[in-house]
Amino acid sequence: MVVDGFTGLFGSDPVVHGLVGGVVIATLNLLGASLVFVWRDPSERALDGALGFAAGVMLAAAFTSLIIPGIETYSNGNPIPVLFGVALGALFLDRSDILIPHAHYLVTGRRRSDAAASSESLPIDDERLAGVLLFVLAITLHNMPEGLAVGVGFGSGDLGTAIPLMLAIGIQNVPEGFAVSVAAINAGLDRRTYAVFAGVRSGVVEIPLAVLGAYAVGVVSTLLPYAMGFAAGAMLFVISDEIVPETHTGGHERVATLGTMLGVIVMLYLDISLG
């Protein structure tokens, strides 16, 4: 019924579906970023729990909506294309960190031994502007796999998998967008300005990537298992390299872990009930 309603509203073109999916997740990111208007001073414990929830949703979605259907449905049971894509997605995010600092460092100020160069190495005189630019670049890189995953999901033509994936990523975008806005405010950026900017930034990145993902796998169908693996690998890298370390440094590991478990449960429920 959900699938029929979706096609009734938006037709049957996978590229249009990718556009709709990108708009949905970008809108929910804006919603999360705008929560700073009503929840002005969240505790670090609450933020760690929210980010843990986002990690749990992404973790389950990577397997139920990308890796498993990529192997079983689009590779005829051959795991090699999907697993190659997983490795490529993780490698892409890893190499990108050479050029763009870890979001972890930009948000918390706690440098990791493998962090990329600091803002002081950039040819920008205004130190605060350099920090803001790096912050935006790091968070943009963080969100790229999400838009791509939604586009690839719709490009596959399997709305029973793509719609739960869209909803899952959109739901996890709410606490993620909120956490990013809080971090930016704590760094001295204006509350109202950044809440709006965070949503715009998400839309600029996630919407085109969702459309591109849907278009690419529609034109070259053989790319689909590789693309699904790539999106999943990039998401898994973000979870392990950014979100988990961030939520386990402030003494609230148990809350973050419980949030992760709740996120996994929510995603599995969405996948079964809507898939």
Output the pLDDT for position 148.
87
In this predicted model, what pLDDT tens digit does every residue of 123-157 receive, in sequence order?
433 444 455 555 556 666 667 788 888 999 898 88
DSSP 121: G
122 or 76, greater pLDDT: 76
pLDDT score of 4 more than 80: yes
34 or 131, greater pLDDT: 34
Contact 150, 169 (CB under 8 A): yes
Q: How far apart are CA 167 and CA 11, in angstroms?
A: 19
Prediction pTM value: 0.77
Closest CA to 104 of 149, 139, 74: 139
Q: How many helices (H) and strands (E) does the chain have?
A: 12, 0
pLDDT score of 253 more than 50: yes
In this predicted model, what pLDDT tens digit does every residue of 184-218 receive, in sequence order?
776 666 666 766 776 676 667 888 889 988 998 88
